[in-house]
Amino acid sequence: MAVVKANAYGHGAVETSRTLIQHGVTRLAVFSTEEGVALRQSGITVPIVILGPVFQEQFGHLFAHQLTPVVSDPSTLTTLAQAAALRKVSHSIHLKIETGMGRLGLAQDELVALIHSRKFPPSLRLEGLMTHLADADGSNSDTTEEQLRRFRDALKVVQEGGFQVPLIHVSNSCGAVRFPSAHFSLVRPGIMLYGYHTLPGTIETPDLRPVLSLKTCVAQLRTIQPGKTVSYNRTFTARRPTRIAVLPIGYAGGFSRRLSNRGYVLIHGQRAPIAGVVCMDMVMVDVTTIPGVAVGDDVMLIGQQDNERITAGDIAEWTGTISYEVLCAISPQIPRLYVSS
Ligand SMILES: *Cc1c(COP(=O)(O)O)cnc(C)c1O
């Protein structure tokens, strides 16, 4: 089950989903009902699981578009069951168990009460049982092993209650690589599909290659004299005659303002440092040491040029975050070009 939430981690949900399906993925997961509806409206027919919370006003969309919600609390189970019964449909759901993430999920006692009451709603079909790992990329595996123990207990309660649940799933990318015992019947990779991971260096990782490049071009060039400054609040001052290139991307496009005066872009295969604060739709870089830069030249913000490379992981380090946030911050308004090989 490929996770394509957050616009497929910034890669474009529809095209990414189509490509994943072509390559054998049989099920997709998104966060919201709206994301699921958008995939359906673009013609995607494989099962789609909604990982996030669902609300009453969305139930109609779940039924109409055959979207499979993850139910994480008893009251949603009740209201969803009533809505399904009213429409005389039997709707598939997955139940989520809280095992240590401290986020969505039925508590163990809520699960026991539901199963032992023998009142599981007949209008709902229990297709899946799941939980989510909080520390699959942590420095040790204790938290995950404790979560797996709790999940196996929950699974036992459900099975002994007479349910045959076809889809049992626990693992995100790191969990799938690191804990083969947690594969169950389905895994839920997200970040690794896009070529990144957050596993500690001690864990052997698969051969991952970043899928996405983020490119722009040089919009204007100017040489400024020592003492002159660049961008809002004059945080960059030239110490020598300095060649500044203006690039038409900024924080509105997903190029974080935390990159102000830190981090680099690639021009002519060389690193150009960011000069001054990142603006909403523009950023300036220092190209003094890169000969022959011209308006229109390609600029790589994430990706490779000649032998130099900048990854979303590098930007994450410069800005104090993780590759996930760098990727999904890339605004949907930035045009995506898909290259098939
Ligand atoms: C986002 C998410 C995943 C995927 O996680 P990655 O770390 O990107 O592989 C899996 N399961 C759930 C419930 C998620 O929210």
Active-site hit among 119, 194, 228, 232? 232
Give the contacts of 271 (CB within 8 A, at least 6 positions apart): 264, 265, 308, 310
Angle at 19 between CA 9 and CA 4, to 5 degrees: 25
Residue 203 lies in a domain: no
Mean pLDDT, the chain, integer = 97
Give the contacts of 244 (CB within 8 A, at least 6 positions apart): 221, 222, 223, 224, 230, 275, 284, 285, 286, 287
| Residue 9 Cα: closest atom of ligand 1 | 8
> Is 309 in the same domain as 171?
no
Strand partners of residue 215: 300
Ligand 1 centroid–CA 282 distance in Å is 32
Structure confidence at residue 340 (pLDDT): 83
Residue 226 lies in a domain: yes
> What percentage of the chain has pLDDT greater than the value 70?
100
Angle at 105 between CA 101 and CA 109, to 5 degrees: 105
Residue 274 lies in a domain: yes
Residue 338 lies in a domain: no
> Is 135 in the same domain as 253?
no
Question: 33-80: per-residue pLDDT in tens?
Answer: 999 999 999 999 999 999 999 999 999 999 999 999 999 999 999 999
Residue 206 lies in a domain: no
Residue 147 lies in a domain: yes
Question: 144-176: per-residue pLDDT in tens?
Answer: 999 999 999 999 999 999 999 999 999 999 999
> Is 234 in the same domain as 184?
no
* 173 touches ligand 1 (CB under 6 Å): yes
| Domain tally, the chain | 2
> Is 104 in the same domain as 172?
yes
* 11 touches ligand 1 (CB under 6 Å): no
Q: Give the CATH number of the domain where residue 15 resides.
A: 3.20.20.10
Supply the residue whose CA is at minimum distance from atom 1 of ligand 1: 190
Of the residues 149, 164, 194, the one at which a domain ends: 194
DSSP state of 335: P
Ligand 1 centroid–CA 189 distance in Å is 6
Query: Rounded CA gap, 41 and 31, in Å?
Result: 16
> Is 239 in the same domain as 284?
yes
Say if residue 19's pLDDT is above 90.
Answer: yes
pLDDT mean over 133-143 = 95
In the structure encoding, which two tokens stand for residue 340, read together?
A: 């098939």
Query: Rounded CA gap, 68 and 80, in Å?
Result: 12
Query: Rounded CA gap, 130 and 176, in Å?
Result: 14
Question: 78-137: per-residue pLDDT in tens?
Answer: 999 999 999 999 999 999 999 999 999 999 999 999 999 988 999 999 999 999 999 999
Say if residue 313's pLDDT is above 80.
Answer: yes
| pTM value surpassing 0.85 | yes
> Is 21 in the same domain as 121?
yes
| Residue 96 Cα: closest atom of ligand 1 | 13
Residue 304 lies in a domain: yes
Q: Give the CATH number of the domain where residue 269 resides.
A: 2.40.37.10
> Is 16 in the same domain as 50?
yes
Domain ranges, residue 37 = 2-194
> Is 51 in the same domain as 15?
yes
Structure confidence at residue 325 (pLDDT): 98
Say if residue 341's pLDDT is above 90.
Answer: no
> Is 136 in the same domain as 275?
no
Question: 213-223: per-residue pLDDT in tens?
Answer: 999 999 999 99
> Is 38 in the same domain as 126?
yes
Annotated active-site residue 232? The verdict is: yes
> Is 190 in the same domain as 243?
no
Of the residues 194, 229, 260, the one at which a domain ends: 194
* 191 touches ligand 1 (CB under 6 Å): yes
Question: 240-258: per-residue pLDDT in tens?
Answer: 999 999 999 999 999 999 9
Ligand 1 centroid–CA 311 distance in Å is 20
Give the contacts of 175 (CB within 8 A, at least 6 positions apart): 133, 136, 144, 182, 187
> Is 133 in the same domain as 104?
yes
Give the contacts of 265 (CB within 8 A, at least 6 positions apart): 247, 271, 272, 274, 285, 299, 300, 301, 310
* 178 touches ligand 1 (CB under 6 Å): no
Residue 121 lies in a domain: yes
Structure confidence at residue 248 (pLDDT): 98
Structure confidence at residue 235 (pLDDT): 98
